[in-house]
């Protein structure tokens, strides 16, 4: 047997200590674990998309169609004057590029990243892998931003990047706009960046882009990220970032030249030509979310948290392992959700439920009734 010790010599110790991101097996399951849009395209649209993709010149590197996609996205969001837009292979790549942009090689005082917790795991992971120091600031018990704690962390560390998910993952809530304005003002005063992550924008009642339109000077240090994953295209891995053009120009220098494939771009362009279809799907998901919340409120033994996203946190009352046991019962009934109970102390005894189709949500509620009985 080959001794791997020598072969791993130059692999970073912190990387060797990490755990790879685990994706749950979902074949044959009602898949409510990954905040995906549960709706597929109609057979007619599938055929049209198939024809479009079949005509793509996959023998060529991505070219003008990428520019077409950027133009289409700019029109879709009604991009304000003075702002630029860049594409990423999912929001994950954009987060990584931001970390790269702020990591000064050989600097004794490492650049820092601050984010509320519990939050999206890639903020901290990207910072660690790029050599930045990550500082997580706990939310309040009701999942609201702790403005005093966030402000103190910003004052102490002067982070290069502060992440604000709007709404947050996994708690699915929108934080107070006045609090966010105060934090942006504090970070901007010393030249730091605030990233507003709007991954769940299709399901939210508010967008920070409206704030940027109304108060561009106050948001000159703000970058806004979105993704087409929750829009309904999780499989194509396409994120985009909006910011003042001067900022976009600098971060775009780090982007791999062909980071978005021609197939992904064509899929996205096709979707943007049928935004009415995806808007209708989002409307159904919002309606189902509200109905699911009311149904969960009527269940003894659980506490649901109001959501502005396509997911919902559900806390199990009682024994410390109630969420773990419920997760296994749901799984036995072929319903797959996300067990977040060990992700952060504030999420103890919690599961995260993706909003599914009406039929999927019925199956979820029935399985939950069984778990609670």
Question: Whose CA is closest to 282, among 202, 369, 164?
Answer: 202
Percent of the chain with pLDDT over 70: 99
Query: Per-domain residue ranges for the chain?
Result: 13-43+276-372, 57-272
Tens-digit pLDDT profile for residues 47-59? 999 999 999 999 9
In angstroms, rounded to a whole number, what is the distance separating the alpha carbons of residues 225 and 202? 13
In angstroms, rounded to a whole number, what is the distance separating the alpha carbons of residues 183 and 161? 12
In angstroms, rounded to a whole number, what is the distance separating the alpha carbons of residues 119 and 86? 24
pLDDT band for position 1 (50/70/90)? Answer: very low
- The arithmetic mean of pLDDT across residues 188-210, rounded, is 97
Q: Are 255 and 88 in contact (CB under 8 A)?
A: yes
The domains spanning 13-43+276-372 and 57-272 adopt the same CATH topology: no
Answer whether residue 281 shows pLDDT above 80: yes
**What pLDDT, on the 0 to 100 scale, is given for residue 4?**
63
Question: For the domain 57-272, what is the CATH code?
Answer: 3.40.640.10
Answer whether residue 358 shows pLDDT above 60: yes
pLDDT band for position 143 (50/70/90)? Answer: very high
Quote the radius of gyration of the chain (alpha carbons, Å). Answer: 21
Phi-psi region of 256 (alpha: psi -120 to 50; beta: other; left: phi over 0): beta
Percent of the chain with pLDDT over 90: 87
Residue-level length of the chain: 373
For 13-43+276-372, CATH number out of 3.30.470.10, 3.40.50.720, 3.40.50.10490, 3.90.1150.10 equals 3.90.1150.10
Q: Are 198 and 204 in contact (CB under 8 A)?
A: yes
Tens-digit pLDDT profile for residues 234-246? 888 999 999 999 9
The set of long-range contacts for 268-273, using a CB threshold of 8 Å and a minimum separation of 24, is 268/69, 268/72, 268/73, 268/228, 268/233, 268/236, 268/238, 269/65, 269/68, 269/69, 269/72, 270/48, 270/49, 270/52, 271/228, 271/231, 271/232, 271/233, 272/69, 272/72, 272/73, 272/76
Q: How many CA atoms lie within 13 A of 197 on its CB side?
A: 27
**What pLDDT, on the 0 to 100 scale, is given for residue 251?**
96
**What pLDDT, on the 0 to 100 scale, is given for residue 11?**
84
Interhelix angle 262-272/275-297, rounded to 10 degrees, is 80
Q: Is the peptide bond before 118 cis (omega within 30 degrees of 0)?
A: yes
- The arithmetic mean of pLDDT across residues 283-293, rounded, is 97
- The arithmetic mean of pLDDT across residues 283-294, rounded, is 97
**What pLDDT, on the 0 to 100 scale, is given for residue 12?**
86
Answer whether residue 33 shows pLDDT above 50: yes
């Amino acid at each position: 047997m080959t001794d791997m010790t020598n072969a791993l010599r130059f692999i970073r110790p912190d990387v060797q200590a990490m755990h790879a991101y685990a994706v749950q097996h979902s074949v044959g399951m009602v898949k409510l674990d990954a905040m995906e849009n549960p709706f597929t395209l109609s057979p007619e649209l599938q055929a049209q998309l198939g024809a479009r993709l079949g005509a793509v010149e996959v023998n060529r590197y991505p070219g003008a169609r990428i520019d077409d996609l950027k133009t289409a996205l700019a029109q879709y969001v009604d991009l304000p004057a003075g702002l630029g837009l860049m594409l990423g292979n999912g929001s994950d790549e954009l987060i990584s590029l931001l970390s790269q942009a702020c990591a000064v090689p050989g600097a004794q005082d490492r650049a820092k990243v601050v984010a509320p917790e519990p939050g999206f795991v890639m903020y901290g992971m990207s910072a660690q892998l790029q050599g930045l120091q990550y500082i997580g600031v706990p939310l309040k018990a009701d999942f609201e931003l702790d403005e005093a704690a966030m402000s103190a962390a910003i004052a102490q560390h002067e982070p290069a990047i502060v992440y604000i998910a709007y709404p947050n993952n996994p708690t699915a809530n929108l934080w107070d706009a006045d609090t966010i304005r105060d934090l942006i003002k504090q970070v901007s005063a010393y030249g730091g960046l605030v990233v507003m992550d709007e991954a769940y924008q299709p399901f939210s009642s508010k967008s920070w882009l409206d704030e940027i339109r109304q108060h561009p000077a106050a948001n000159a240090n703000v970058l806004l990220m979105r993704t087409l994953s929750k829009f309904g295209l999780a499989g194509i891995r396409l994120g985009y970032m909006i910011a003042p053009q001067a900022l976009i120009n600098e971060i775009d220098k780090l982007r791999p030249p062909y980071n978005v494939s021609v197939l992904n771009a064509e899929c996205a362009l096709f979707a943007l030509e049928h935004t009415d279809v995806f808007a209708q799907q989002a409307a159904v998901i919002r309606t189902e979310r509200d109905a699911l919340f009311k149904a969960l409120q009527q269940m003894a033994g659980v506490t649901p948290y109001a959501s502005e996203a396509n997911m919902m946190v559900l806390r199990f009352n009682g024994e410390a392992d109630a969420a773990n046991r419920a997760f296994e019962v749901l799984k036995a009934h072929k319903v797959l959700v996300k067990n977040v109970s060990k992700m952060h102390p504030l999420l103890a005894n919690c599961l995260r439920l993706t909003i599914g189709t009406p039929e999927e949500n019925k199956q979820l509620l029935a399985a939950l009734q069984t778990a609670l009985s």
